[in-house]
Amino acid sequence: MPTQGTYLYSLIQRILNTKIHGRRANLTSGESGDTNVERDLINSGVRVALSDIDFRGNIREVSLTPRLMENQFDYALPTDVKADRIIDLRPQVTDYREEFETYSIIPPEEFDRRKNTERGIACIMNDDLTRYLRISADVDNISVQVSSMEDTGWVSFSASVQDSDIKVDQDDYIEGNGCIRFRTDTTDTTDSAVGIQSSNISAFDISDFLARGSAFLDARLTVADSGIHQISIRIGSDSNNYYQVNDSTQNDCSSFVTGWNKIRLDLQNKTTVGTPVDTAIDYVALFWSRDTTTATLLHLNDTDWGFDDLTLKRGKYYNLSYYTRNVWQDTAFALVENSSHDSYALLVQNDEFEVIMAKIAELASSYLRDYEDVQYYASEYKRLKDEYLARNPSQAGVLTTSRYNFQSTETEPNNLVIES
């Protein structure tokens, strides 16, 4: 059963009061009259200390989502990961690690160049404060490509798409030599589904994927907005006997975007219609759900819908360990980045707590214009930080980068420079 941390916000207030010589009232009702000053200083002190130090009390471990797979590069990154402070990617079964089951953290631009030729590398992608993890792995997994989405056997899933508008697009695609491109029927204002289907899929056995497998799909939107609710897949024997899975986010759990989206549909979340023959699956339907209540969200004029590379995969269970930035615990045991109530607890260990208190006292003394105490607590913070780091060096992986050294001569064959 979860228990609350020892270092309550109210305890921090009391300790801070002693460090600033009983003048805490000047923080809560000082010249500015801002009652948030004290809380802002305490939260800031915690954040500054966390940016300086990887505290062992802030290590978290979660299951990697989705499971680790070969040639599947995008994974969800927990929202509370501090900066790029990834500690380890390790198999759930730890008795033995393969050669490429030790991972180096590299810059995103290098990952894209090296992912198809190297294994055992990972990076964190940043896009407008949306972050996700990319991994190139060499693991045993089961995979089957259901369709390369380059054939002409696809027809409209409903009246939302005219069959004559379904074409192979050899210009804008993700895998192989093309994708399926289609446009919306501009007269269909009532159908909530926009998509395509095919009964010409080469028959395959889905048995290995039903319990723990996932369907991966590249899906293109002309415009991503609140009118697009979710994406769905039907896989079955025919249009009356199938499994259906829906999802409302991309593979990395981020929102849909204009252009290409990497979709993951976990078959463990399936619903079953009729009686599909698992060993002879040859029917697939792919469709978006759109808003039909608001004219501006109908997407009637969209001309650039697309689907590419439908593949089933079942990967290996992996754990991701990292340093978190969520170090406050509320009374419901939820973890957050900043304290907003006196009942919150700071989740750190005793020696870590003293380092943080020195930084809080330094910031509070600066606000009170007690510059002798500012100097003292700044020195104390540095001393405690150095002692802590000497005993507890960071476990986070070091970002390494390689670049081509164009100054190398023909007599210097080693023109790859490794930096960290």
The reply to whether 251 and 177 lie within a common domain is yes
The reply to whether 43 and 192 lie within a common domain is no
Computed from CA positions of residues 69, 73, 76, 78, in that sequence, does the dihedral angle turn out positive or negative?
positive
Domain presence at residue 17: yes
Q: Show the CA angle centred on residue 48, arms to residues 47 and 52, nearest 5°.
A: 115
Q: Show the domain range for 264.
A: 143-314
> Would you say 327 and 48 are in contact if contact means Cβ atoms under 8 Å apart?
no
Residue 60 has pLDDT above 50, yes or no: yes
Is the peptide bond preceding residue 66 cis, with omega within 30 degrees of 0? Answer: yes
Work out the pLDDT band at 215, boundaries 50, 70, 90.
very high
Residues in the chain, overall count: 420
Q: Which of 1, 2, 11 lies closest to 344, judged by CA?
A: 11
> Would you say 45 and 52 are in contact if contact means Cβ atoms under 8 Å apart?
no
**DSSP readout, 13-64?**
HHHHHHHTTT-THHHHSSTT--TTHHHHHHHHHHHHHHHH---GGGEEEEE-
The reply to whether 255 and 165 lie within a common domain is yes
The reply to whether 164 and 233 lie within a common domain is yes
The last residue of a domain, from among 278, 305, 323: 323
**Region 185-207: what's the mean pLDDT?**
93
Domain presence at residue 374: yes
The reply to whether 128 and 154 lie within a common domain is no
So what's the pLDDT on residue 36? 87
Q: Which of 82, 67, 5, 48 lies closest to 321, judged by CA?
A: 82
The reply to whether 278 and 151 lie within a common domain is yes
The reply to whether 194 and 261 lie within a common domain is yes
Domain presence at residue 182: yes
The SS3 call for residue 172 is coil
**Region 83-102: what's the mean pLDDT?**
82
So what's the pLDDT on residue 130? 83
Work out the pLDDT band at 409, boundaries 50, 70, 90.
very low
Work out the pLDDT band at 31, boundaries 50, 70, 90.
low
Residue 365 has pLDDT above 60, yes or no: yes
* Cα gap 137→115, rounded to integer Å: 9
The reply to whether 137 and 164 lie within a common domain is no
Residue found by looking up tokens 């913070």 in the block: 381
Residue 383 has pLDDT above 90, yes or no: yes
Work out the pLDDT band at 30, boundaries 50, 70, 90.
low
Residue 408 has pLDDT above 50, yes or no: no
Residue 286 has pLDDT above 90, yes or no: yes
Domain presence at residue 84: yes
Split into its structural domains, the chain has a count of 3
Residue 140 has pLDDT above 80, yes or no: no
Residue 20 has pLDDT above 90, yes or no: yes
β-bridge partners, 126 = 131
So what's the pLDDT on residue 293? 87
Domain presence at residue 405: no
Q: Which of 72, 65, 86 lies closest to 119, judged by CA?
A: 72
The reply to whether 182 and 287 lie within a common domain is yes
Domain presence at residue 2: no
Query: Domain holding 168: CATH number?
Result: 2.60.120.430
So what's the pLDDT on residue 110? 93
Residue 2 has pLDDT above 90, yes or no: no
The reply to whether 63 and 109 lie within a common domain is yes
The SS3 call for residue 208 is helix
The reply to whether 169 and 263 lie within a common domain is yes
Work out the pLDDT band at 412, boundaries 50, 70, 90.
very low
| Structure tokens given for 97 | 């690690």
Q: What is the mean pLDDT of the chain?
A: 90
Domain presence at residue 332: yes
Domain presence at residue 149: yes
pTM beyond cutoff 0.85:
no
Work out the pLDDT band at 34, boundaries 50, 70, 90.
low
The last residue of a domain, from among 300, 323, 346: 323
> Would you say 244 and 271 are in contact if contact means Cβ atoms under 8 Å apart?
yes
The last residue of a domain, from among 286, 314, 342: 314
The reply to whether 109 and 162 lie within a common domain is no
Q: Can you point out the beta strands (E) in 107-258?
A: 121-127, 130-136, 142-147, 155-156, 167-169, 179-182, 193-198, 214-221, 228-238, 241-247
